[in-house]
């Protein structure tokens, strides 16, 4: 049995405990909500919760896809919970979160891929706690992108995020069932409908790509009007998941981040621990995140 590659020192973080984090966790349990932060044992949880940010996973915890890097269960999902948008909004108000990321499993079983449900969540949060800034991290709505965009344009978030995850030559291996061009078009399509909303995308590095290939993807993102970028290290959830190809060094992240800024991204977060939602509040406000 092969061992997971040993983590370099820059990926070891300590999990702080604070009254703030305890309070947030209690509220989450009360409202029966799922966060990616807890479920993915995200190394940044302490920092994010402490700063009033969390990433919620809506539309259930069973995905219709099976990406080999992802730890989410797959299979036949449950019916949508019609109360979820209100429950989510109440919890966010309760927790006094100032920035939330709303993400979901892929719902290829739904006619609109879940776009209407996502829109309802945004509407409810705006009503219950207008101060909260909202980032949606959406699925690719494969085959339904036009329908989904038509719905989503009516309830704009503050940031519209969709991750490309990796370079096109690795799609078949890393994102089976997804399309590189389709994802780029989704980002471009939203920008065309809502030019005032920032668009954002991200890649996880260390799955077999080269830095040169990453630069090509960054060019494509800029050519499709994407404003913000995140680059982070892929971490293998278990030895049954996609293997790590390399530990990208902090210097390489720094270098890639610099190239991205030169290309004109208004915000770039690039570093080993960066996640799509890491310091999302600061990313949205143009502060430097590394």
Contacts with ligand SF4, residue ranges (CB under 6 A): 36-37, 42, 44-45, 48, 53-55, 63, 65-67, 70, 72, 74, 101, 105-106, 275, 277-278
Nearer to ligand SF4, 36 or 214 (CB): 36
Q: Would you state the structure tokens that stand for residue 202, as one six-digit string?
A: 């991200």
Q: Which of 185, 203, 176, 175 is nearest to 149 (CA)?
A: 185
Q: Which is nearer to ligand SF4, 99 or 190 (by Cβ)? A: 99
Q: Is 285 exposed, middle or buried (0-12, 13-18, 19+ CB in 10 A)?
A: exposed
Cβ of residue 195: shortest distance to ligand SF4, in angstroms? Answer: 26
How near is the Cβ of 69 to ligand SF4 at its closest, in Å? 7
**Cβ of residue 75: shortest distance to ligand SF4, in angstroms?**
11
CB closer to ligand SF4, 68 vs 250: 68
Tell the smallest beta-carbon distance from residue 102 to ligand SF4 (Å).
Answer: 11
Residue with tokens 């983590």: 7
The residue with tokens 């700063």 is 51
* Cβ proximity to ligand SF4, 74 vs 261, nearer residue: 74
Residue 92 φ/ψ, nearest 5 degrees: -65, -40
Q: How far is the CB of 72 from ligand SF4 (least distance, A)?
A: 4
Contact (Cβ atoms closer than 8 angstroms) between residue 58 and residue 35:
no
- Residue 231 forms beta bridges with which residues? 203, 270
Say if CB 134 and CB 125 are below 8 A apart. yes
| Nearer Cβ to ligand SF4 (37/207) | 37
Nearest approach, Cβ of 262 to ligand SF4 (angstroms)?
Answer: 26
Q: Where does the chain show beta strands of DSSP type E?
A: 53-58, 62-63, 73-74, 99-104, 133-137, 159-161, 198-205, 228-233, 267-270
The two structure tokens encoding residue 238: 């278990």
């Amino acid at each position: 049995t092969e061992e997971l590659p040993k983590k370099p020192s820059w990926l070891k973080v300590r999990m702080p405990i604070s009254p703030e984090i305890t309070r947030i966790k209690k509220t989450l349990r009360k409202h029966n909500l799922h966060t990616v932060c807890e479920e993915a044992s995200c190394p940044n949880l302490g920092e994010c919760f402490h700063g009033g940010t969390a990433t919620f996973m809506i539309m259930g915890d069973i995905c219709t896809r099976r990406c080999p890097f992802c730890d989410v269960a797959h299979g036949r999902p449950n019916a949508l919970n019609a109360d979820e948008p209100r429950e989510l909004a109440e919890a966010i108000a309760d927790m006094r979160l100032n920035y939330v990321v709303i993400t979901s499993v892929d719902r290829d079983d739904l006619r609109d891929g879940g776009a209407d449900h996502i829109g309802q969540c945004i509407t409810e949060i705006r009503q219950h706690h207008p101060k909260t800034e909202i980032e949606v991290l959406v699925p690719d709505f494969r085959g339904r992108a036009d329908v989904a965009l038509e719905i989503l344009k009516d309830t704009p978030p503050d940031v519209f995020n969709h991750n490309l995850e990796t370079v096109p030559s690795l799609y078949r291996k890393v994102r089976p069932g997804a399309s590189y061009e389709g994802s780029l078009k989704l980002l471009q399509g939203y920008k065309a409908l809502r030019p005032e909303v920032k668009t954002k995308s991200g890649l996880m590095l260390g799955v077999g790509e080269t830095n040169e290939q990453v630069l090509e993807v960054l060019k494509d993102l800029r050519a499709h009007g994407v404003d913000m970028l995140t680059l982070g290290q892929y971490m293998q959830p278990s030895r049954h998941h996609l293997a790590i190809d390399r530990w990208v060094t902090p210097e390489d992240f720094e270098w890639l981040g610099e190239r991205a800024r030169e290309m004109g991204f208004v915000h770039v977060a690039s570093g080993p621990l960066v996640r799509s939602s890491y310091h999302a509040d600061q990313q949205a406000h143009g502060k430097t995140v590394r």
